[in-house]
Structures are given as structure tokens and as C-alpha cells.
A and B are shown apart, each in its own frame.
Chain A
Amino acid sequence: MAKRYDAIIVGGGHNGLVAAAYLARAGREVLVLEQRHLVGGATVTEELYPGFKYSVFSYVVSLLRPEIMRDLSLARHGLEILPLESTFTPLPGGDYLLRGPDHAQTHREIYRHSPRDADVYDEYGRLMAQMAMAVRPILGMVPPDPAAPGWRDLQSLAQLGSHVRALGGERFHALAKLMTMSAADFLDEWFECEPLKATMSASGIIGTFLGPRSPGSAYVLLHHYMGEIDGAFRAWGFARGGTGAISSAIASAARSFGAEIRTNAAVQQVITKNGRAMGVVLADGEEIYARVVASSLDPKRTFLKLCAPADLPTEFREAIERFKIRGSSGKVNLSLAALPNFTSLPGMGMHLRGSISISPSMDYLEQAFDDAKYGEFSRHPYMDVLIPSLIDPGMAPPGQHVMSCFVQYAPYNLKGGWTDAQRTAFGDTVVNTLCEYAPNLRENILHRQVLSPADIESVTGLTEGNIFQGELALNQLFFLRPVPGWAQYRTPVRALYQCGSGTHPGGGICGAPGRLAAMEMLRDGL
């Protein structure tokens, strides 16, 4: 009989790799199985055209937990995170809103649009930083089960209780509102300037199937505020070499601890015996055995595809079926012969080195969402655009550039389905929309890669192409993620664990689910 591992990690995305690295670091024999030819899942860099490297799916990093970077010595394994300087919102009338790192300059710029908002902007920033601090400890903890608390859950609950009390009334109430409101309502309480509100609210809808006026979107706003690079709040960054560099660094760290990583090894099924996971069967029929199996795939894929129905209680299966994973965004990657020239702010400048947000107003975003609600891609989509080659020149040949456009909304369940013609029309919509602000873009496009949520699903395996592996909705957070009663990385199948973004604390290039899951496996005596 072949070798029996301590742990098999299904899926070589960043969470799978983090879990593997932590287990290997603890001296366990770990095997990571990745279906693609390269690791990373949605966190990959690929040179699709000679000289042009794309962060094909995920494209910025802010949520990666600093303790993971330290524990796994990711800097030593080649990870360098470069800062994004600014947020630039070009406006249809030829104006723009540009927020940069300088406080006084940003104040002046917002003042130009709304004097009152300029004053409030700082106050808002401080509140959000406080809120992020308030939530941070929760991100790093295994969710307690409040319905059937054991001793450890009671401890966590007590901890949580004293944490909440320590927040004090005002912050607690602000947090409660953040958890329940829509991004639009929350921002309306502070600001009046449309492009400012819209651009800020955009971070509340990224990766979700919510509009800025949908209750619950305010929390996602916070989720994105929680990003920290090197311990500094609110900083967004870009990994040198693209997001793939993050997976490579984690993979390299995992290997250095002794983990084995196999690519081109798609898992077909989890082998169980008497309600206990024994190993996995690969697509080619090979069977590999281990003491535990941990899946970093999303909950639907893990439980509905890899597990036999008989191994799962009916209510659990139903709950997983109800789990909301809704593909809502697409990605367009461009190779450019020259930089785009924005009508509202011509030439080169700080505005090109940060995030370029196509979000001129709240109505614009909400209307984009309306299209998606009824099964169309947005005719005027929200976009978060980046020119990575300006931050890391190595991403494109000298003088040329790559442009990454995250596009929302592109519903997975498109009316009529995602045909080639629809994909082309979607790509055209993206380019046309951008050309309204930077008309020279079209003539400079050398290559265009258009990814619908269906494409993202078929390449990465993420259900509906959702990068968060499940909506960050109120009823899918903390002890309810992915389903009530099973939020502690364990599953109804003994020795089968979940370690993907579908578990607490959720998506983004964060790594916390992988880390917390690894801790739980070790705690269970692995």
C-alpha cells in the first residue's frame, strides 16, 4: 500500500497552501493536490502573451494577515508587496476625484467637490479604523457555537462579550449599524458628494451580488477596510510579480517545511469509511490515503461534488445547497501599447499608479446592479482598474503595459448563458465604458482576455466564479459560515475539514481560514 499522509489538502489556492504550510511547519506530512498545472487557485499570475503577465483573477492584496506573513517568513520566500498610491474616479462631465496619500491634498480635493465632506472624511476614516480594530480580534478567532456551547465556546463567548463591552456604547452601536445597513445608507449618513460615496461604497459590493443600496453591504465596506499591509490599516497593495507571487511564496514556504505539492492532480472524491474520511480518489483513479482530508474548495464543491450524499445528513446538505455563492463579477485583462490618457486628467501621474474606479455616482452603481438582478451584465459596469506594470515594471515589456479590470456586475446566471458572443459583448462593454473616460485606450489594446464568471468557474473550479467562495452576507458570517453549527472548520464527516474562504472569516487574499483550520486540525490531535 502506498504512503499514507497525515493530511491531504484538496486545492492549492492560497488558503489550501496556508493550511498546508502550517501543518507542515508543525511537522505533519502534508500533500496538496491542485487540479491545475500551477498553484494559486484564483491567486495566480500567468504570462498569457509573451512579456505580458496578468494577475488573472485576484489582483490586489490588503487582507493578507500579517501573522501569516511572519509565521511563514513570506518575505524570505520572495513576497514583496508594493503600495497602491491613490484612488482615481474619473467623472463623465470631464471632472474627477483623486484621493492620494497626502492628507492636506486629499482634503483640498474633496473640498473642491464638497467642503463639508472634506471635514467629515477624516472623522469617517478614524471611525472605520476603530471599527476595523474592533472586528480584528474576531477575524482571528474560531467562531464559537452559541447554540450549543461547549466549554471552549463559552470561553470564546465570554471573551467576545468583554470585547464588545470594552468597545463602549458608541462604537458598539456604530458596529451594529455597519453590520446591518446598506453601504449607501451608511455613507449617506456621512457624505453628500456622489463620486466619493460611490467610490467608497464600491468596496462594499466587490465580489458580492449586492447593490450599494442592499442592506448588508456596509459590512463588506468594513471587510475591505480591514486590510492591512505591514500592520498599517487601509493600505492596499500589489504583489511584485502579480498576485501569483503570493501563492508561490506560500507554496515555497510550505515546501520548505516539507509539504508535498502535486499539480495536475484533480480530486474526484473523498473516500470515506464508516462516516470517516480516509483519503481521496484522483480523476485518474489513483487513491491516496491520509489521516485527515481538508478541502479548500468552496462548500458547495466540497460537499456536493466530492462527498457522497449518503455521508452527509440531509439538513446539512440542504443548508449547503442554500449557501449563497453567487457569481457577480468578471475580469478583463488588457495588454497595452501605451498608457491610457484620461480626458479629465491627461498625461502621466499619481492617478495612474493607484486604483482607477469607474463609479461616478450611487445611481450608476445601483443601476449596474439592477441589470444583474434580472440576469444581464451591466450595460455601464462598475470597474476597479489597475495598471500593474506602472507599479511593477516587470509585468510588461518595456514601454508597454498591462491593465487589469475587475468588472461588476456580470451575473453567473446570465440570461441565455455565457456564450462566446456574450463574452465578446461583455468585453466590448468594458472597453467602451473605459473609452468614455480615456478615448485613446482602444487603439492601444494589443491583447484582450475576457473572463466571465463562468470562465472563472471552469478554470479555477470556484462555484459560480465567486472569488469569496460565498457571499459575505449577515447570515453567512462568523458562526453561521458556511452553515450554522459547522463554523469550526469541521464537517459532519469525521476527519474531513474545510479550510477555504467559505469558512470564517471569509474571502479575499486573507489566509486566515487556512490558518485557523490548520490550528483546529492540530487541536483535534492530528
Chain B
Amino acid sequence: MRSSDCIIIGAGANSLVAAAVLARAGRKVLVLERLDRVGGTHASAELHPGYRFDTAMTSLGWLPPLLSRQLRLSRHGLNVHWAGMPLLALERDGHSLPLWRDERRTVRSLRMLSVRDAERWPAFCARAARLAGFLRSAYMLPAPQVPNPGLGDAWTLVQLGLKARGLGRMEMLELLRVLPLSVSEWLDEWFESDLLKGALGAGGVQNINLGPQAAGTALGLLHHHVGAALGDIRPVGFVRGGMARLGEALAAAAQAAGATIELNSAVASVLVRSGQAAGVVLANGSEIKAATVVSGLDPKQTLLELVGGDWLEPGFVRRVNNIRGEGIAARVHLALDGLPVFPDVPSGGMDALGRISISPSLEYVERAHDCAKYGRVSNAPVLEAVIPSLSDASLAPAGCHVMSVAVQYTPWHLRAGAWNAERSTALRDNVVALLDAHIPGLRARIQAAVVHTPADFEREFGAPRGNLYHADLTLDQILFMRPIAGWAQYRTPVRGLYMCGPANHPGAGITGVAGYHAARAVLHTKP
């Protein structure tokens, strides 16, 4: 029978980081991937001849320097282009508001909208940078065990405490005040322009089944802001050659460190002997032994399907079942035969374009979410589009472009009935109409349109309930409560079985860090 030290289930970004870290520490690592490619939701596909799209994750928010340095990702072929204009907010009347990495340029564009908001922008950026900076350091530490910390946890708590003290008294109180705030309240405190608040506010609820008035969504905004330099806002990073290159680079790093990656190997179950992980059984029935199994799948799949109820007590099962995170975002991919006109964008701006936002006010976002509360697709959804071919011509034929639109809210569970072709088409038509109303002439440029609903994500990526992020980033599912209160140390009730997916601390959008912490947890545990 085959055997290995560590088996890693899935070859998504977190899994590959875990594999690389473990292999570098000298462990014999075997990565088992169900699909015929690595990268998981960091995927690219030629959805229309000649057009290469990032099908699930369309941009990077933060790639921790620690990881790219340790794993030498640039040497393994990773090249990330950070957009100079991370956000372009559109209004129906053709007005638009570009937000730049360069704070002064943003202030200039804001002035057209509101002098007051323009004046406040630098202070807001400074505040956001301070608060996100604290989160950034919290994210680079594993979540401590509370309320009964162990020695390592206590050290983490001390480090966090020192970081918090570094903020100063008022900043710390401000952090405590802001994190549980709703993004609406927080932005209302700062700004008056609906367009600005709408575009920023959409970031607070990205991939979360909440509206901007929900407590804790200010944290959502800061979460996606952790990678930002001062003045930057919710950074947008495009991987040269397509998002799949990220997975390939991570895989190369893991392999360079000695890990083996097996594609087309679906794991059917985790073997458990006397409460201890003993290996895995593949879908073809063959067994592979290993004393350590790390799963990049979400906790429900890992624990309820791969392990099963025989080894988990009902109270724990209930808590796993109660992890919230229904997919509420879809993608519409458009192959364009040319670039439509963005009237307000200054010359040269298009090359810097990051995210195009159709989210004209906080009330707009809130109303979009109202539909989702009752299991309906938003009548007027929030759209966030990217055109990565603007900075990477290799993605589309000359003069042509690929545009990927994130659509929110599109619940995985529709009360009216399951997702089907008819509903997908209706969604596509609605999105195209909405885009066309904001970007004149867009419709005429569309050569092909492909829709990925949460149901498609579930089918193609194994995303649980269609959620690419596995679990919602809400106040009750962060830090020591992610994915489950008391089980935030990447461990599970089955000894030797670990989890490293984005449902773990620090969560999705923080590329690879959960995998990094999980690998460290494995290494810190005596066999």
C-alpha cells in the first residue's frame, strides 16, 4: 500500500502553500487534486476561442510578501500587476469616479463630486491604513485559543496586545468601535457622496451574505484592504497570463521543495483508526496511508463527508453544519471585440484600470441584498467588473478584451427553484443591460457571454453551496471563531487531520495564509 507523511487534499492556493511549507520542513508530502489542474478557484479558461478568462477569482487582494519571498514565487513564474486605479465607480448618467492608488489624484477626482469628501479622503485613508495594518498583523499570526490559551496562544495574545498598544489609546478604541460597525455607518461618518460610499461599501459585503447596514461589514471592508499601501483602496492585482499562473507558481514551489502533486485523484474518504487520521481512500478505491492529512476543502466536506459522523460527536456536527456561507455571487464573462468608451476616464487611465463598480449608493446595495434575504436574485445587482486584458494583451486577440463581472447577490439557494439555463440567461441579460446603461456601447462589443452561477461554482470547483470563499466573513466567524469557535487552530477532533482552506483563519482573499498557518500547526504538533 502507498504511504506518505502528509497527504494534502486539494490543490488550491492554500493547499499548495501548506504543501510547500511542509515539504520545505522535510516532510514527505503528497497533494491529491480531483481536477486535472492545480490552483482551485484560481483558474483560467478559454471560454471563447482566443479569449482567456479568470473564471472564479478575478483578482488578488493581497499576496503576503512573506509567502512570495519564502516560496520564491517570482522565480516560479508569478508576476502580479497591481492596478493604479483600483476602483472606477460608474453612475447611470455616464458620470464616473476614479479612485487611484495615488491619494492626490483621488482627491482631485473627488473634488468634482464633493469638496468635503475630497478633503476627508486623506484622513480616511490614513485611518483605514492604521486599522487594516492591525488586521494584517493579526492575520499573520495564527488565531489564539480563547478563553483558555495555551503557551503559544498566550504569546500570540501578547503580540496582538503589543500591536494594539502600538495603535495608541484612541486608535485602539476606534478599532474596537469600528470593527463591529456596519460599513454604511462607518462610511456615513466620513462621506456624503452616495457614489463614493456605494462603491466603497460594496467592498464590505464582497462575497458575504449581508447588506451594508449589517454590523461587522466595516470589518469586511478592512479585510479586503489589508494589502493596501497608504492611499490605495481595496487593491486589485492581476496575475500575468491569467489567474491559473498563481496556482502553477505555487505548485512549482511545492514541487521544488519535494512535494508530489497528483492530479485527477479525488479523495472519497479520510481513513480514521481509533480517532487518529490514518490516510485517505481515493474514489477509485485505493488507499494511501499517512499519519497527517490536511484538507483544503471546506469543513463540511472535510468533516461530514470525508470523515463522517462515526468520529464526530453530535454537538460538533451541529456546529459544523451551522457554519454560514451560502454562495451569493455569480460571474458573467464577456468576450469583447473592442473596448467600449468610458467617458470620464482621463487619458492613460484605462491602462491602470482595476475594478469597475456599479454600486451607486449604499441603499442600492442594501436593496440588492433585500432580495437575497428572501432567496431571490437581486433585481438590480451590485456589479464589479475587471478587464485584465487591458494590462495583459496575451489574454485576448489583438484589440479585443476579456471582461469578467462579479454579480452580487445571486443566492445559491433560490426559493423559486434551482438554478437552470433559463435563470442563468435571465441573469446574463439583466447584467448586460445594466452594464450597457452605464458603459454606452458595451452591448455591441459583446462576442460571447458565459455565466457562472453559484450552482456552477459548486459543480466545477466543488465550492460548498456555491461559495468560493467557503464561509462568510462575519463577526461570529472570524479569528478564534473561524471556522468554528474553539476550533480555530486548523485542527479537528480527529487527531492528525487538519484543515487549511479559506474557511479557516484568516479567510479568503488573504492568499495562502490559512495554508501557511495550517502547515505550521502540523509542524508544531508532536506526532
Contacts and interface: CB of A to CB of B under 8 A. Distances in A.
Asked whether any CB of A lies within 8 Å of a CB of B in the complex, the reply is yes
Contacts, number: 90
Interface string A170-191: 1011101100111001001100
A324 B147 CA distance: 30
**Main secondary structure on chain A at its contact with chain B?**
helix
A322 interface: yes
Interface in B303-358: 318, 322, 324
Interface string A345-384: 0000000000000000001001000100110000000000
B282 interface: no
B485 A214 contact: no
**Among A147, A366, A370, A474: residue with most chain B CB under 10 A:** A147
**Among B146, B180, B363, B374: residue with most chain A CB under 10 A:** B180
B115 interface: no
Interface in B201-238: 210, 213-216
Interface in B125-159: 146-148
B363 A374 contact: yes
A215 interface: yes
B185 A324 contact: yes
A363 B374 contact: yes
**Among A172, A215, A474: residue with most chain B CB under 10 A:** A215
B392 interface: no
Interface stretch (A17-25, A161-169, A235-243, A410-418): A161-169
B433 interface: no
Interface string B421-440: 00000000000000000000
Contact of A370 (B180, B214, B370, B475): B370
B481 A177 contact: yes
Given A164-B147, A373-B213, A366 B373 contact: yes
B173 A215 contact: no
Given A216-B215, A475-B177, A147 B147 contact: no
Contacts of A474: 180, 215, 475
A214 B148 contact: no
B14 interface: no
Nearest to A167: B147
B485 A177 contact: yes
Contact of B324 (A185, A214, A374): A185
B476 interface: yes
B147 A165 contact: yes
A214 B215 contact: yes
Interface residues of B, number: 35
Interface in A466-491: 473-475, 480, 484-485
Contacts of B185: 324
A213 interface: yes
Bin the interface of chain A by size.
Answer: 35 or more
Nearest to A178: B476
Given A147-B173, A216-B215, A373-B213, A180 B475 contact: yes
Contacts of B318: 189
Nearest to A315: B170
A148 interface: yes
**Among A188, A363, A474: residue with most chain B CB under 10 A:** A474
**Main secondary structure on chain B at its contact with chain A?**
helix
Contacts of A182: 214
Nearest to A484: B173
Interface in B149-188: 169-170, 172-174, 176-178, 180-181, 185
Contacts of B93: none
A473 B180 contact: yes
Interface in B28-69: none
Nearest to B487: A173
A128 B213 CA distance: 27
A324 B188 CA distance: 12
Contacts of A322: 189
**Among A170, A174, A182, A189: residue with most chain B CB under 10 A:** A182
A180 B148 contact: no
Contacts of A213: 214, 373
Contacts of B174: 484
B485 A176 contact: yes
Interface in A24-54: none
B148 A475 contact: no
Given A189-B322, A366-B373, A215 B476 contact: yes
Contacts of B215: 180, 214-216, 473-475
Contact of B216 (A147, A176, A180): A180
A216 B147 contact: no
Contacts of B363: 374
Nearest to B180: A474
**Among B147, B480, B485: residue with most chain A CB under 10 A:** B147
A181 B181 CA distance: 13
Given A176-B481, A189-B318, A474-B215, A215 B474 contact: yes
A169 B486 contact: yes
A173 B485 contact: yes
A173 B486 contact: yes
A173 B143 CA distance: 14
A191 B324 CA distance: 15
Contact of B176 (A170, A188, A315, A484): A484
A215 B217 CA distance: 10
B169 A148 contact: yes
Contact of B169 (A147, A167, A172): A147
**Among A180, A324, A473: residue with most chain B CB under 10 A:** A180
B366 interface: yes
B239 to A, nearest CB: 34
Contacts of B214: 182, 213-215
Contacts of B322: 188-189
B146 A172 contact: yes
A508 to B, nearest CB: 20
A216 to B, nearest CB: 4
A28 B289 CA distance: 78
Contacts of B213: 214, 373
Interface in A251-265: none
A373 B476 contact: no
13 contacts: A172-B147, A176-B476, A180-B215, A180-B474, A181-B475, A188-B322, A215-B214, A215-B216, A363-B374, A373-B366, A475-B178, A480-B177, A484-B174
Interface of A: 147-148, 164-165, 167-170, 172-174, 176-177, 180-182, 185, 188-189, 213-216, 315, 322, 324, 363, 366, 370, 373-374, 473-475, 480, 484-485
Q: Which 8 A-B pairs have the closest CB atoms?
A: A173-B485, A180-B475, A484-B173, A474-B180, A180-B476, A216-B215, A215-B215, A147-B169
Interface of B: 146-148, 169-170, 172-174, 176-178, 180-181, 185, 189, 210, 213-216, 318, 322, 324, 363, 366, 370, 373-374, 474-476, 480-481, 485-486
Given A315-B170, A366-B374, 4 more contacts: A169-B486, A373-B213, A373-B366, A374-B363
